[in-house]
Amino acid sequence: MPIKREHRWNLVFVAPGFLGLVAVLGAIWAGFSPHRLWPVAGFLILWVGSASYVGLANKASRQRTFRLQLAPVPKGKRLRKPLWLALEVPAMGLVATGIFGAIAAALGFPGVGLGIALTAVGMYGFVGATMSFLLSPDLMFDDGGLRLYLRSTQCLVPWTSIQNVEAIGPRGFQIIRLRITEPERVIASVVPDSPRHRTRAQRLLGKPGARESEVLLNRWTAGLDGESLVRAIRDGMARRPAQVS
């Protein structure tokens, strides 16, 4: 019988870290070089904690996908990505940080492990913030189109301007690609209407003055899995109620 995905994750990433942590804490309790082993224990705690979170979040996201296949997407309501979903990818980075940090500390170089941790936190913080800003806007399904929220900026993509929508990548890790005509109409709908907010929307839509534009929406944008989001947008394009099933 094949092993389920969450069980594979636990066997490969959670269990080794947990066993290593038990062994290190046991060695500290027995009096073996606590000054050297406590940094190792700290990285192992980071490893086990972040790996456990990823496993739980992955299981919860699959359950959410199943529920979304049976539920309508609300119209006229701003849809946001839940925080626990947004933290899943950074947590994967912390798993790697914990693993390499624990190895470095066990070899007697806790400073190297700390450097790895600080570098990873900075990198994932920057990448995560950039991805969230560019690719994960909040969404609202309106009668006239798809409303995008970019922090304090909002703009409307008319259903008639969306020429194509598709999901790219394996299920559960899909990026959505929208092909939009007349992107200047979208820029003209920006609220509040100011140069700063227009610039923010333009970054999402690409080169100014283009006849067509591609918008990439990150996985779990607005808290919707890729297949549900594609179906809801296609329903809007067909001027039907935005519904998943």
pLDDT, tens digit (0-9, with 9 covering 90-100), for 98-153: 888 888 888 887 776 677 666 666 665 555 544 544 468 899 999 889 999 988 88
Per the domain annotation, does 245 fall within a domain? no
Average confidence (pLDDT) over 167-171: 86
Q: Indicate whether 43 and 72 sit together in one domain.
A: yes
pLDDT score for 133: 43
- The answer to whether the beta carbons of residues 158 and 188 sit under 8 Å apart is no
Q: Indicate whether 126 and 10 sit together in one domain.
A: yes
* Least trusted range by pLDDT, from 166-175, 188-197, 200-209, 229-238: 200-209
Q: Indicate whether 181 and 207 sit together in one domain.
A: yes
Residue-wise pLDDT tens digits, 180-211: 998 888 999 999 989 888 888 888 887 777 78
Per the domain annotation, does 13 fall within a domain? yes
Range(s) of the domain holding residue 38: 5-135
Number of structural domains in the chain:
2
Q: Indicate whether 149 and 121 sit together in one domain.
A: no
Average pLDDT score, the chain:
84
Per the domain annotation, does 244 fall within a domain? no
pLDDT score for 4: 61
End position of a domain, from candidates 105, 135, 165: 135
Per the domain annotation, does 47 fall within a domain? yes
Q: Indicate whether 11 and 131 sit together in one domain.
A: yes
Secondary structure of 153-210 as H, E, C letters: EEEEEEHHHEEEEEEECCCCCCEEEEEEECHHHHHHCCECCCHHHHHHHHHHHCCCCC
Any idea what the CATH number is for the domain that residue 193 is in?
2.30.29
Q: Indicate whether 124 and 58 sit together in one domain.
A: yes
Secondary structure of residue 150 in the 3-state scheme: strand
Per the domain annotation, does 160 fall within a domain? yes
End position of a domain, from candidates 135, 170, 198: 135
Per the domain annotation, does 28 fall within a domain? yes
Q: Indicate whether 59 and 129 sit together in one domain.
A: yes
**Residue for token pair 């700390």:** 114
End position of a domain, from candidates 111, 135, 159: 135
**Residue for token pair 């995560």:** 128
Q: Indicate whether 92 and 155 sit together in one domain.
A: no
Q: Indicate whether 19 and 119 sit together in one domain.
A: yes
Q: Indicate whether 119 and 54 sit together in one domain.
A: yes
Q: Indicate whether 112 and 19 sit together in one domain.
A: yes
pTM: 0.80
Residue-wise pLDDT tens digits, 40-65: 999 999 999 999 999 999 999 989 98
Per the domain annotation, does 211 fall within a domain? yes
Burial of 195 (0-12, 13-18, 19+ CB in 10 A): exposed
How far is CA 8 from each of CA 2, 11, 16, 99, rounded to the nearest angstrom?
10, 5, 12, 17
Q: What CA–CA distance (Å, rounded) separates 120 from 96?
A: 9
Per the domain annotation, does 76 fall within a domain? yes
Q: Indicate whether 154 and 228 sit together in one domain.
A: yes
DSSP annotation of 74 reads P
